[in-house]
Structure 1
Amino acid sequence: MFFVIIAICSSILYGQQSEEQDSLDLVFRNQKHLNNKIETARIIYQKYKNTEAQFVFNISNEVLELSKKENYPIGEGIASRFIAYYYRFKPNIDSSRFYFNQSFKTLENSNAIKDFCETTEEYATFECVQGNYDKALNIAEQGFRQASKIKSSEQMVMCLNRKATINMDSGNFTGATKSNLLALKILDTTTLQLAKLKAISLGHKARIEMLRGNYELTLQPLQEALNLLITLNDKQWMTVNYIEMGNAHWYLNNFNEALINYNKGLTLSKELKRHDITSICYSNIASINIEQGHYKEAIEVIKKSIEADKAIGSMINLTIAYNMLGDAYYNTNNIKQATKSYTNAIILADSIKASDVKRDGYYNRSKAYKHSGNYRAALSDMEAYTKLNDSIFNLESDKQIEELKTIYDTEKKEAAIALQKEEIKTLNIKAKNDKLTKTLYGVGMLSFLTISGLLYFGFKQRLKKNKIEREKQEAIYKQEIAFKKKELASQTLHLVQKSTFIQELKENLEKIKQSPELFKVEFRRLVMLLKKEKAEDKDWEIFKSYFSEVHNNFDNTLKSIYADITEKEIRLASFLRMNLSTKEIASMLNVLPESVLKSKYRLKKKLNLAKQDDLNTYLNSL
């Protein structure tokens, strides 16, 4: 009887929702003026963009065509933004970028500044997700400038919040903090009307500390934000806040508290019918179960996550979920189901060109095949994995190399300009001195007193000459420093490449361990790899040498202050001193970003820094 009641209630709710949707659709079609249709389309977009995407897409297309027909650019810009959002979650990256760009260009020079700011906020979010951080920041900054012109606190804070999240994702915590503090400063002067934005900004403040490894500093702003959201009864942002609180407790190893918060978020997301947030909650709960070895519980939760992903058509989340499901089955020794899940992940990843997820699927399925004794299939999957891994690494390496080349060229030009300025300065001094010397020599022929003056002048000239020589030496020293910086960048790249070699060596050894029959095939490859790497064994020592010259014996300074500091901690401190992001350090050390965050947290504690102290700032001050 209970299940029947639930079914009836669900049917009633669905009927109510369908009636409301039909009612809005009818209102939209009966309106004669384009502006009225646009305002109704806004309501439809805000209410149904995450639950009835196709309905919103159809309405948005009608608004776009009508706006073009009546030559109304603002309507075109608004409709293009709605369509771009739809394609973002298909996902259809090219179409989404096209329509965001159309909306941006159309609204940029219009008087609809609020709509332009909303486009920049969503467009910047899209580019940030694609990893185009500089472009995303530029878009958000343009939105902020336009909002500043009309002194719209709401739009200014919205753009500042986006800048903060972009900086967080790119590892620029200083930039994130600046944007976040400015947003909170603006909000301190506003009324309760913008309490929601203040809660969001407080959430960003917590996330910045979380990413910096200061997990204990995250709970207070999150609780303050939650109190505001409860007052506003804003269930959507309450859901997000519960997820963030769950993340904070997870990092603090408070798994029970983390689960409590994830489940609160799950309850609210179901109530809101936000399948995307529901999927996140399920994934986080499953991850904790896997972390604690509760694989059977994890399997049930992941299945629910998959259903939520299917409901919103999130293919990328679905592929990740299938990989996770395969891992859980593998750990319960259900190899048949594990293989099936990995295969689903590979097929889906291939359909959306998600190379990294597809690569993981091949690697995992290879293990499953090997476990079941299907060595031929295991070898085939491992070869596919290796090929994909090499392809992905080459793309990433090319990007890193181009970035290093840009740094090199920039520093080279700066050094050349500085040297040119020094030469001009030296020539000016020489010309001035020559003129002065001739004058004094002419006068010096008149008397002994003048000769004495000349002797004194000659003494001063030597002083000036020595000064010029010192300036030349300083210029040469600056050039040497610039050279050392370039070498340091080069050595950094070598270390990135070396981490890849170690990973490749590890994988080859794992192959031999798991499949002894591959020994003959892989042994020669291992010997060649080792020979190739032998010449680079001193990479870290060379890196230390250049780093010490550029950064004034940084490692010795650390050792003199903290005698028990380890070589591993010195290496991490050196990378932080170079302002490398967490993701970059993880790549160089061949570990997960979470491991780097935890290492930074331990290093900060070892250095006896207070909670409010910034680790990067402290290391740069040494």
Structure 2
Amino acid sequence: MMIKNVFLLFCAFSISIYSGAQSLQFEEALSKAHLGRTNRDSALLKANRAFELAQKENSEESINKALTYIGAAYYNRRETDTARFILNKARPSLKKGSFEHGMATWYSGKVCLRSAKYDSAKQYYLQAKEIFAQLDSVLFVSNCLAEIGLTQGMQGNYSEALKWFTQSYENKLKNGLEAETDDDLHNIATVYMRQGSYDKAIEFFRKSIELKDGEGDYSPYIGIGGAFNLQGIPDSALFYYKKAYGMASAEKALGGVVSAAINISNIYFQKKEHRSAIDYLQIASATGAVSARSVPSVYGEMGKNYFGLKMLDSAKYFLMLGLEESFVVNNRQYKAETSEFLSMILAEQEKFEEAYDYAMMSMTYADSINRERRDDAITDQRVKLETLKKQHEIDALHAENQIHQYKQLLLIIGGVSLTLIGVLAFFNLRSRTNLKQAKLEEEKAVLQLELEKRQAQLSAHTLHMIHHKNGLEEIEQHLVELDGVGKQKIKNVISINKAQEKDWDNFNNYFSDVHAQFFDILKSHHQDLTQSEIRLCALVRMNLANNEIATLLNIEPKSVKMARYRLKKKLTLEEEQDLNSYIQKLELAGSRMRQG
């Protein structure tokens, strides 16, 4: 019996030792997963090892801890959807207020930030900050503050971003973590750059350099170079870009080499030292570290520099490569810029039909970009209007609830006091008045939005007409040196395009949408005006300059001045009377008369 008890005691002791060893292995794997975050593959490997050990322990808490680091590793590997799924599974089951709970919440914020869900990201970061504050983890509190700054900066709220970045920086300084402030210094400097405060940006970039005694990190030098470049001081910018290039080359940091080389080539392009610019672009390309989205830009810059050297075939070759790559990454801005340069090269090579095609392509992409920006602005206004409408509906429901409460109170009291009835009637009337006023405000906002939309269409169409005719005139100028029948044929085509009445029909439609009664009022006061004079009145009403009117009417600016002078005579205006003011007053007076 005694031997049996000793044997059972020995087994229990052995199991205890094995279990303790396994727990120790789990904690060790978890620590390595945490410490190895910068090495993505290693971190994922260690986190998966911790997960396997946790499953052997059959410990739900350990499993969710391991899942937190697996989710973090997938985020660092840029597998965002997988990271989101794993973190959402682990986070609710973690011990509230634990370090892993803070980590899971923090990384959930990172996932939302990468997905451009800024409000959700901010909420996660605020929650994580509170958890880390309770754990006295100063560094992670500062990290959360900095991440909130990123959510603001990525939305263009630079003042708010600067506030959060500064809090992160000061929190580290206050707690003796000055060595960890490099990212904060970069963030603060970048915000100052965005705000145009270049001296402040340079000040914080230099603090970053001093923090590391001028060694190790090339990025502050690129930042300072950028600040000088934006201020139009290319020689100083070039000095710092080359400093960054030397440091990145010494560290074999290919990303830094690419960034510095491209910036150096940009300065040489500004200085018209195209051969040097090409040399650095070739260095950047040869690293093999140029990102897919930057490839069209590198090829495009090569083409522009060869164009500057008048090596048109080489310029055309690289610009065509850049255009092809811009289709791969679907970057319309690159497409517009590259097409424009190709048009210029082909025009110099007297390949006018191809030049015209690329010029039209460039204008099409430019119009598309402008139209999208305008549509985005209109969409923003519509969202604001919908928000206002929802708020009015909420206010209306709130008012209805108040009315309902008042009626219930009236039924309960049963006419105890005429004064109470009077008070209820007053509130009822005021609520209805507020509802009516809110409806009127809503209708007014809708009308204003529609007017702004039509004004935007009119302006866009007018700019398109001017841009179109300017492009045709530029091609005409290239035809001056040509002789023969071919020249006359092209001129005839251009003249036909310039005289297109379809553009004027569209112009009249857009103009009438914005100035509904303008033409009727004008004709009712001046029946003898010709169609050309009525058209001139419309362009004057839009406050266009003489050179813009000349482009639209296909005449010389001095002819516009003569036409305005003859129009004033026909309208029987005194010499000192302003034609613009008269037409505006005539429209206003006519509109009031018709409304009356």
The question of whether the paired residues in 1 share the 8 Å contact of 2:37 and 2:73 is answered with yes
- Partner Cα distance (1:391, 1:356) in 2: 10
Partner of 2:251: 272
Letter of the aligned partner of 2:232 in structure 1?
N
Aligned: 1:112 with 2:100? yes
Could you say which residue in structure 2 is the equivalent of 1:573? none
Give the number of the structure with larger relative contact order, counting CA–CA contacts within 8 Å between residues 6 or more apart. 1
Q: Does 1:512 align with 2:472?
A: yes
Instruction: Mark the CA change 1:66 to 1:368 in structure 2 (over 3 Å): closer, same or farther.
Output: farther
> For residues 179 and 482 of structure 1, do their structure 2 counterparts lie closer, same or farther at Cα, with a shift above 3 Å needed?
farther
- Identify unmatched segments of 5+ residues in structure 1: 1-31, 50-55, 89-95, 442-456, 540-566, 568-622
Task: Return the match for 2:139 from 130, 142, 154.
Answer: 154
Matched, 1:222 2:205: yes
Residues 242-253 of structure 1 aligned to structure 2 (within 5 Å):
242-253=221-232
Distance 1:258 1:147 in 2: 41
- Amino acid of the residue matched to residue 235 of structure 1? G
Note if 1:98 corresponds to 2:63. Answer: no
Provide the rounded CA distance (Å) in 1 between the counterparts of 2:180 and 2:109. Answer: 14
Helix, strand or coil at the partner of 1:357: helix
- 8 Å CA contact 1:219–1:245 kept in 2: the answer is yes
1:176 and 2:155 equivalent? no
Query: 2:283 is paired with a residue of what secondary structure?
Result: helix
Over 3 Å counting, the alpha-carbon distance change for 1:252 and 1:350 in structure 2 is: closer
CA distance in 1, matches of 2:466, 2:515: 20
Partner of 1:613: none
Instruction: Report 1:197-346 matches (<5 A).
Output: 197-230=180-213, 235-236=216-217, 239-308=218-287, 310=288, 312-346=289-323
Distance in 1, matches of 2:336 and 2:472, equals 20
Relative to 1, partners in 2 of residues 1:536 and 1:227: Cα closer, same or farther, differing over 3 Å?
Answer: farther
CA distance in 1 between partners of 2:258 and 2:251 (Å)? 13
Aligned residues of 1:203 and 1:225 also touching (Cα < 8 A) = yes
Q: Deviations 1:14-69 (Å, cap 9, x if unpaired)?
A: xxxxxxxxxxxxxxxxxx968767766777763xx6xxxxxx65x67766876776
- Partner deviation per Cα, 1:155-182 (whole Å, 9 max, x = no partner): 2222322332332232112321332233
Aligned equivalents of 1:373, 1:139: Cα separation in 2: 61
Residue 18 of structure 2 is matched in structure 1 by none
* Structure 1 residue 324: Cα displacement: 1.9
| Residues 1:357 and 2:334 aligned together | yes
Deviations 1:147-205 (A, max 9, x none): 445342212222322332332232112321332233234224211xx324433223322
Q: Does 1:418 align with 2:395?
A: yes
Q: Distance in 2 between matches of 1:36 and 1:363?
A: 60
Q: Tell me which structure has the larger Cα radius of gyration.
A: 2
The whole-number CA distance in structure 2 between the counterparts of 1:175 and 1:102 is 31
User: Tell me, what secondary structure is at the counterpart of 1:284?
Assistant: helix
CA contact (8 A) 2:284 2:290 kept: no
Identity of aligned residues (%): 12
In 1: Cα distance, 2:456 partner to 2:251 partner: 45
Equivalent residue letter for 2:259? I
1:515 alignment partner, SS class: helix
The alpha-carbon deviation at position 411 of structure 1 amounts to 0.3
Q: Residue 351 of structure 1 aligns to which amino acid in structure 2?
A: V
Where do 5+ consecutive residues of structure 2 fail to align?
1-23, 56-62, 477-489, 517-542, 544-596
> What do residues 264-321 of structure 1 show as CA deviations (whole Å, max 9, x unaligned)?
222222222222222222222222333344333322222223234x2x2511112211
Secondary structure of residue in 2 paired with 1:316: coil
Is the Cα–Cα contact under 8 Å of residues 113 and 147 in structure 1 kept in the other structure? no
Query: 1:404 maps to what in 2?
Result: 381
Helix, strand or coil: the match of 1:344?
helix
Q: TM-score, normalising length from structure 1?
A: 0.61
1:97-148 deviations in whole A, cap 9, x for unaligned? 33443454355345635754674576466445xxx65565456556545544
RMSD of aligned C-alpha atoms? 4.4
Structure 2 CA distance for partners of 1:154 and 1:324, relative to 1, 3 Å: same
Q: Deviations over 1:309-358 (max 9, x none)?
A: x2x25111122111122222223322212211111112223333444434
Residue in 2 that maps onto 1:371? 348
Q: Which amino acid aligns with 1:219?
A: I
